[in-house]
């Protein structure tokens, strides 16, 4: 039994860092356990926040609602927009594109997923998958709405039991932190501004005892949440927890980001465009568009990256581009002694599938579930760390998939990704899908089978077979089913307001 330095009861929580991670964690802890805890958040105006991280995935809708945020207020305050998926341009071959659209595709059948039907239908039509022709994405409500710039928060396709749109948000990271700060303070979180210069540890246990600010203020606590971003001042600089490096699988280690003027129409999806080295994000907000290039410094200099980024943005830049260095990987233990790392301090997989804010959310939820109110118990810490590792590895594999299955070959960067050894778990998924069209996920996996199917197909891993159940339908039945689904989806999208109108209506 590992006891905290309070010999038991844990009541004084110190969250270090006031970026997305700090304020999301503060909001959830205050909302759920606020009555029993004293929660203090320390942040440094001098250091500021990383200022990127503006695209999310659908579970954030529930998180916001769980901490008591009104959706309209949130979208207005953060200059937010709707995100229906991520479009991947040139990732498989130059000139090709596909989308990881959120939500479902087609109609779910017992025993066999929709893409098996689509695949047989394609074969009967002698068609190859083409996103502008009879493609898998013709049957995605999210894709069709995204490309037509439409949005309405519908739970179902009218008069059917088919699911409606699944969505997430894009938002201004700085405004989100401010918005959450106000919210968390209204729930009782105490904020202290200042830069931490010294950290004191217990001589025996090595637990963190207190933090000292530049102005001499001393802050004591029972449990410390390290939300200090890439600096990781508690979990790494003090506790030397160690880092599992993923750069042999996820080779990018730099990003250069610049905001530019907004465009006339705001697209309800993120764009990810592969370049000769790395890829570029485009995140449309109400007042500006966020852009950034993610690249590997081994293959491209910062100067080249800056020139490439500025050549490929579609509005006037609003500031000087900012370079951010990182190392892909994760902290060996997310919870070590009386410190829990949440946000960039716990690791970073690169922003391709916008999973890092989600990992903040799940870590904060896990912390509430495992909250050590009577003292820290090693078995509990181990289980917390095990769960976070399993979750992270599933996400890691999904991101590696995009790199591994590229067919570009126009630079050593992409060729090395094609050749690289990948985790066995991922290799098995790729091969099983290729041979049988099947992909299986665990109940706790973040990315669903439909997400995997889209990226596998989009990256050219077309199955050699489909499920035998499909052959129980005649050609006419299959044709009718596919035709009717398409009609249903197109009609539903037609009746939706534009995304611009939706935002204006707020």
Ligand X SMILES: Cc1cc2nc3c(=O)[nH]c(=O)nc-3n(C[C@H](O)[C@H](O)[C@H](O)COP(=O)(O)OP(=O)(O)OC[C@H]3O[C@@H](n4cnc5c(N)ncnc54)[C@H](O)[C@@H]3O)c2cc1C
Which residues carry out catalysis? 83
Choose one: 80-88, 228-236, 328-336, 479-487; the region binding ligand X (CB under 6 A): 228-236
Choose one: 127-135, 234-242, 343-351, 451-459; the region binding ligand X (CB under 6 A): 343-351
Size of the site for ligand X (CB under 6 A): 41
Whose Cβ is closer to ligand X: residue 321's or residue 343's? Answer: 343
Q: How many CB atoms lie within 10 A of CB 488?
A: 18
Smallest CA-to-CA distance from 224 within 20, 4, 67, 49 is with: 4
CA distance 120 to 31: 50
> What are the backbone dihedrals phi and psi of residue 164, each rounded to the nearest 5 degrees, phi first?
-85, -145
| 357 forms part of the interface with ligand X (CB under 6 A) | yes
How near is the Cβ of 16 to ligand X at its closest, in Å? Answer: 6
How near is the Cβ of 229 to ligand X at its closest, in Å? Answer: 3
Site string for ligand X, 116-155 (x = CB under 6 A): ----------------------------------------
| 340 forms part of the interface with ligand X (CB under 6 A) | no
Question: What part of residues 474-503 is at the interface with ligand X (CB under 6 A)?
Answer: none
> DSSP secondary-structure letter at 41?
E
> DSSP secondary-structure letter at 428?
H
CA distance 126 to 10: 65
| 44 forms part of the interface with ligand X (CB under 6 A) | yes
CA distance to 84, 150, 176, 490, per residue, from 500 (Å): 14, 8, 21, 19
| 60 forms part of the interface with ligand X (CB under 6 A) | no
DSSP assignments along 136-195, one per residue: GGGG-HHHHHHHTTB----SB-TTSSSB----EEE--HHHHHHHHHHHHHHTT-EEEE--
Please select the residue that binds ligand X; options are 5, 15, 22, 238, rule is CB under 6 A.
22
Choose one: 11-19, 65-73, 98-106, 112-120; the region binding ligand X (CB under 6 A): 11-19
Provide the greatest CA pair distance for the chain.
78
Do 290 and 270 touch, CB atoms closer than 8 A?
no
CA distance 11 to 77: 32
Choose one: 43-51, 92-100, 392-400, 448-456; the region binding ligand X (CB under 6 A): 43-51
| 4 forms part of the interface with ligand X (CB under 6 A) | no
User: Would the CA dihedral through 235, 238, 244, 249 be positive or negative?
Assistant: positive
Choose one: 13-21, 79-87, 127-135, 418-426; the region binding ligand X (CB under 6 A): 13-21
Do 215 and 194 touch, CB atoms closer than 8 A?
yes
Whose Cβ is closer to ligand X: residue 231's or residue 473's? Answer: 231
Whose Cβ is closer to ligand X: residue 138's or residue 350's? Answer: 350
| 80 forms part of the interface with ligand X (CB under 6 A) | no
Question: What part of residues 229-258 is at the interface with ligand X (CB under 6 A)?
Answer: 229, 231, 233, 255, 257
| 41 forms part of the interface with ligand X (CB under 6 A) | no
CA distance to 60, 81, 153, per residue, from 72 (Å): 14, 11, 12
| 52 forms part of the interface with ligand X (CB under 6 A) | yes
Smallest CA-to-CA distance from 5 within 221, 181, 172 is with: 221
Question: What part of residues 290-329 is at the interface with ligand X (CB under 6 A)?
Answer: 292, 324, 326
| 55 forms part of the interface with ligand X (CB under 6 A) | yes
| 219 forms part of the interface with ligand X (CB under 6 A) | no
> DSSP secondary-structure letter at 55?
B
Do 455 and 104 touch, CB atoms closer than 8 A?
no
Please select the residue that binds ligand X; options are 13, 21, 199, 305, rule is CB under 6 A.
21
Radius of gyration (Cα) for the chain, nearest Å?
Answer: 24
| 47 forms part of the interface with ligand X (CB under 6 A) | yes
Give the interface with ligand X as residue ranges (CB under 6 A): 16-22, 42-44, 47-50, 52-56, 173, 195-196, 227-229, 231, 233, 255, 257, 292, 324, 326, 343-345, 351, 354-357, 360
């Amino acid at each position: 039994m590992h006891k905290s330095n309070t010999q038991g009861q844990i009541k004084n929580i110190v969250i270090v860092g006031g970026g997305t991670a700090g304020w999301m964690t503060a909001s959830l802890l205050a909302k759920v356990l606020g009555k029993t805890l004293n929660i203090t958040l320390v942040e440094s105006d001098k250091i500021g926040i990383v200022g990127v991280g503006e695209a999310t995935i659908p579970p954030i809708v529930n998180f916001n609602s769980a901490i008591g945020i009104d959706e309209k207020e949130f979208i207005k305050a953060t200059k937010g927009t709707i995100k229906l998926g991520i479009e991947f341009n040139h990732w498989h071959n130059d000139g090709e594109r596909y989308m990881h659209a959120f939500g479902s595709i087609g109609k779910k059948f017992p025993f066999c997923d929709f893409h098996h039907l689509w695949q047989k239908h394609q074969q009967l039509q002698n068609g190859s998958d083409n996103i502008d022709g009879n493609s898998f994405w013709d049957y995605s409500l999210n894709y069709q709405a995204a490309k037509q710039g439409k949005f309405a928060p519908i739970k179902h396709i009218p008069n059917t039991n088919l699911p409606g749109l699944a969505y997430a948000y894009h938002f201004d990271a700085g405004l989100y932190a401010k918005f959450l700060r106000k919210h968390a303070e209204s729930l009782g979180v105490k904020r202290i501004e200042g830069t931490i210069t010294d950290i004191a540890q217990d001589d025996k246990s090595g637990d963190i005892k207190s933090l000292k600010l530049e102005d001499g203020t001393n802050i004591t606590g029972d449990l410390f949440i390290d939300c200090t971003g890439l600096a990781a001042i508690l979990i790494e600089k003090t506790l030397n927890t160690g880092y599992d490096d993923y750069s042999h699988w996820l080779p990018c280690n730099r990003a250069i980001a610049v905001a530019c003027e907004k465009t006339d129409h705001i697209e309800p999806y993120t764009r990810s465009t592969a370049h000769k080295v790395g890829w570029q994000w485009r995140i449309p907000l109400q007042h500006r568009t966020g852009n950034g290039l993610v690249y590997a410094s081994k293959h491209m200099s910062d100067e080249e990256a800056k020139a490439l980024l500025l050549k490929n943005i579609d509005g006037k830049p609003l500031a000087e581009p900012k370079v951010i260095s990182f190392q892909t990987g994760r902290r060996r233990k997310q919870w070590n002694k009386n410190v829990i790392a949440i946000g960039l301090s716990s690791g970073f997989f690169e922003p391709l599938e916008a999973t890092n804010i989600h990992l903040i959310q799940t870590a904060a939820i896990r912390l509430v579930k495992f909250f050590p109110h009577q003292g820290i118990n090693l078995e509990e810490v181990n289980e917390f760390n095990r769960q976070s590792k399993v979750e992270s590895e599933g996400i890691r594999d999904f991101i590696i998939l995009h790199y591994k299955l590229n067919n570009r070959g126009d630079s050593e960067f992409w060729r090395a990704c094609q050749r690289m050894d990948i985790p066995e778990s991922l290799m098995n998924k790729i091969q099983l899908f290729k041979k049988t069209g099947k992909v299986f996920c665990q109940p706790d996996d973040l990315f669903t089978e439909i997400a995997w199917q889209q990226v596998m197909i989009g990256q050219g891993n077309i199955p050699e077979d489909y499920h035998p159940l499909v052959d129980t339908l005649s050609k006419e039945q299959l044709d009718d089913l596919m035709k009717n689904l398409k009609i249903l989806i197109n009609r539903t999208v037609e009746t939706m307001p534009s995304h611009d109108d939706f935002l204006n209506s707020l």
